[in-house]
Amino acid sequence: MARMKFLCDADRCIECNACVTACKNENDVPWGINRRRVVTINDGKPGERSISMACMHCTDAPCAAVCPVDCFYVTVDKVVLHSKDLCIGCGYCFYACPFGAPQYPKVGNFGSRGKMDKCTFCAGGPEADLSPAEFQKYGSNRLAEGKLPLCAEMCSTKSLLAGDGDIIAKIYKERVVKRGYGSGAWGWKTAYKETVAI
């Protein structure tokens, strides 16, 4: 069974923010919420790297682990989704998420932030597929249309990959072999040191 994953090729990302714009437009994301954002490190210096970040649809997701009302669920495609009908806007998931993915429409304290909003891998929510109610709460359901998240499909440099984890990993490995100088992935040396090369 396919496992949905995002993979950002930091060597190709040019920080154009098209993924951010595409996501906001496709899902009619409310003001103040960015389901996806581009993070740049060493901006303007040698070795500058940009990476497009959103919900990474974790296996054993920490957001789901801390939710006091258990509003999260995982689909067969391994996409982490949540029910806005159950969400109480407590903010625990925001603190638990290592990627800062959960966002809230309002600024406030416990419960007054509004319902949590995050990337759905363009897979909608618990409402009926492609229904107006689903779009209003969660945005579009491109997966049900036989498509992939628009952020990845819009990427002009083909930096952001989305889809079946095995297939996009294979695509990325082929790129790395062609480049011939190692992964180039952001955080690679931190994680695997200089000794591990691919």
Partner 1 sequence: MSEKKTKEALDRRGFMKVVSLGGAAAAASVAPGVVTPAAAYDPGKEETKARYRESEHVKAFYRTNSY
Instruction: Enumerate long-range contacts of 108-114, CB under 8 Å, 24 or more apart.
Output: 113/89, 114/89
**The only residue of 45, 76, 107, 195 in contact with partner 1, by rule CB under 8 A:** 76
Separation in Å, CA 18 to CA 6, 14, 25, 33, 137: 16, 10, 10, 16, 23
77: contact with partner 1 by CB under 8 A: yes
CB of 130: closest distance to partner 1 in angstroms? 10
Tell me, residue by residue from 141 to 180, as one string, x for binding to partner 1 by CB under 8 A and - for no binding.
Answer: x-xx-xxx---xx----x--x-xx--xx--x--x------
Q: Can you tell me the distance from the alpha carbon of 126 to that of 145, in angstroms, rounded to the nearest whole number?
A: 16
Neighbours of 94 (CB within 10 A): 18
Q: How far is the CB of 69 from partner 1 (least distance, A)?
A: 7
Per-residue interface string for the shown chain with partner 1, residues 86-125, x marking contact by CB under 8 A: x------------------------------------x--
- Mapped onto helix, strand or coil, the DSSP state of residue 158 is coil
> Site for partner 1 (CB under 8 A): which residue of 62, 91, 100, 126?
126
Q: How many CA atoms lie within 13 A of 39 on its CB side?
A: 12
- The alpha-carbon radius of gyration of the chain (Å, integer) is 17
**Can you give the binding site for partner 1, defined by CB under 8 A?**
1-2, 4, 69-77, 81, 83, 86, 123, 126, 129, 141, 143-144, 146-148, 152-153, 158, 161, 163-164, 167-168, 171, 174
